[in-house]
Structure 1
């Protein structure tokens, strides 16, 4: 078999919302299709991939560097002994002639294509990706029941406390037990009032996370943490710039009852290892949120898990950012702690296949081949448009 074509297109996921650092009025993403000469049921087998929100479309990088390396390669060099596409070999081909370091936008472009290649591989095996991952890189048995939390609570023009409460309550009514909101885009006093409004709609067993999106320096983040200490929060996310390991250490050193979560804006296993070495985080209480779609894909994510395990980080402390089904499959296949979810935002790329319901804060993965994009009708239609 061989890859005959790779197509990509930029799609808008714009919204009037904002967090403490960016607004999403111009947000885009890239959708890619890896098309092969393998035919099943009269159609070529195609793998799809896209990047998470918070980064923009990566079409030029894919067109100029990474796609040509795939399509110009000796087809046999991209296959394993079974004669099927090998995502690890394809990853090495895409990253040929790339210098170490410089993990910026290229990590997103490669992450999109890596996702499509893993989707392709599982479809060629006619199995769900989580089964493929569990067999190849896990303990052989996937856990189809995955914890998910609802991310929202953005700043929005004209949105007051009542609207925030209504939004979070709608997530709880849909079966979520954990919800997340943004902070750092208003004064501390205003954010505390918003947090108290959010907590007021939570019932027994329901928890709130807050996310500053790297807005603060260490002193500001610590001042917020002292105020947050009076609330029963599940975590305090990205208090400082993701590469400010000393700042992270300073906040973590307060050792309050509020756990920390970070990592979504680190894009390589070396960055992750430096966070583990120098960030002062506690593997027994804090959380890591690396997002494969933004950080070179599953091939690199496996390295991240490997280098952090000797520092005490078990897969259960990883809860990826992004709210996409690729991370859901990784969570099920490798026993991660769960996955972020966007019930209403960034559609049709967020959410779950049709008919999948959240129950007691968990979803059960359906038995669909590949990642499962075709099981989400609105997303399947967008993917199909790339083949027209």
Structure 2
């Protein structure tokens, strides 16, 4: 049993939208295929992965460092104790060989993308959905296949007015979501409040709004927004300041009593631990958004979950960024609180397998092997073309 080839392709996911910090006019991602010599139904088992939106593809780093390290390792050193499957932890260790600690940035995206493909292959070799494999290995064997999702949108774009913003949010509600999100910080505070008011006009009882500043604010601005946002019963106030400014996050709790969320731009267990230690996050109400695809993959995410438990946090307070099926499987298999969803953006990489519907902001995962990419026709066409 061995990995015979790892392929990468950089694919554009560009769009005219922007948040408070960046525009997506030149955004791309890396798509990866891990080809094994294991045969199922007459074909080699192939695992697939891709990095989440908001971080660029990392093909050169993969090709120069991480893919060669895997392929140069003796195949027997990358399989599990049973000898019947690959070992994601051993493969992760091979990728990280000769890397110094710290500096968790772009390399975490490269490793996380390959790691996603490895776990997809491992679950397929075992003949299980990834959520079932994770529950069997790290839980009680009883995954919760019904997962909370919210609709991420509300970006700034040319020609957007209040009516178009309302229509966008109503379209999410019509598709079964009860929690929606809009961007803030890309306009003045007064203008953002007018946009929020416009959305509030179309939300009904039981429907809530999240707002996301994408790390734009200094402390003074974050506090000003916190005071203004306190008039609303928001689902959360997300990433007000720089993700590594733990003092800003900790100070903000003095001015904002409702739920806050952050963590999507923390790419290691160590950085996540510093947020928990020093960021003033409250385990009874706040949300953590660590994204495995950007933060060294599921192998590292397992370390992060263990760290959270040691600090008195439940995995159910995690709702990952990214809107991909990998995090859906982790949520179902390891008891996370839900997952982000992009109903219209970054396709075909976001969303759910074909036929999966949102009902009262929940989706139920189907029984598909691995991560379930084969169940999403438009996405699998891209993947199959890479695998050859």
Question: Can you list the C-alpha shifts for 1:81-105, whole angstroms capped at 9, x where unaligned?
Answer: 2221010110011111111101010
CA distance, structure 1, for counterparts of residue 235 and residue 41 of structure 2: 47
DSSP 3-state at the match of 1:386: helix
Q: What's 2:238 paired with?
A: 237
DSSP 3-state at the match of 1:108: helix
Alignment of 1:40-59 (within 5 A): 40-59=40-59
Does the aligned pair in 2 maintain the 1:242–1:265 contact within 8 Å?
A: yes
Q: What's 1:224 paired with?
A: 225
Deviation at 1:271, TM superposition (A): 0.2
Q: What's 2:88 paired with?
A: 87
DSSP 3-state at the match of 1:186: coil
Q: What's 1:35 paired with?
A: 35
Does the aligned pair in 2 maintain the 1:253–1:280 contact within 8 Å?
A: no
Deviation at 1:181, TM superposition (A): 0.4
CA distance, structure 2, for counterparts of residue 333 and residue 387 of structure 1: 27
Does the aligned pair in 1 maintain the 2:46–2:387 contact within 8 Å?
A: no
Question: Can you list the C-alpha shifts for 1:56-85, whole angstroms capped at 9, x where unaligned?
Answer: 000001000000011111001110022210
Q: Which runs of 4+ in 1 moved over 6 A?
A: none
Question: Can you list the C-alpha shifts for 1:84-139, whole angstroms capped at 9, x where unaligned?
Answer: 10101100111111111010100000000000000000000111000001111122
Question: Can you list the C-alpha shifts for 1:328-380, whole angstroms capped at 9, x where unaligned?
Answer: 00000011000000010000000000000000110000000000001000001
CA distance, structure 2, for counterparts of residue 93 and residue 137 of structure 1: 22
Instruction: Please report the TM-score for the alignment, with normalisation by the length of structure 2.
Output: 0.99
Deviation at 1:312, TM superposition (A): 1.9
- Count the aligned residue pairs: 387
CA distance, structure 2, for counterparts of residue 138 and residue 158 of structure 1: 48
Q: What's 1:137 paired with?
A: 138
Deviation at 1:387, TM superposition (A): 2.0
CA distance, structure 2, for counterparts of residue 277 and residue 3 of structure 1: 39
Alignment of 1:127-166 (within 5 A): 127-166=128-167
Question: Can you list the C-alpha shifts for 1:306-332, whole angstroms capped at 9, x where unaligned?
Answer: 112222210110000000000000000
Q: What's 1:100 paired with?
A: 101
Question: Can you list the C-alpha shifts for 1:145-183, whole angstroms capped at 9, x where unaligned?
Answer: 000000000001001110010001100000001000000
Q: Which runs of 5+ in 2 are unaligned?
A: none
Instruction: Between 376-385 and 33-42, report the one with greater CA deviation.
Output: 33-42
Alignment of 1:1-388 (within 5 A): 1-83=1-83, 84-256=85-257, 258-388=258-388
CA distance, structure 1, for counterparts of residue 194 and residue 184 of structure 2: 11
CA RMSD of aligned residues (A): 0.7
CA distance, structure 2, for counterparts of residue 297 and residue 34 of structure 1: 15
Does the aligned pair in 1 maintain the 2:226–2:256 contact within 8 Å?
A: no
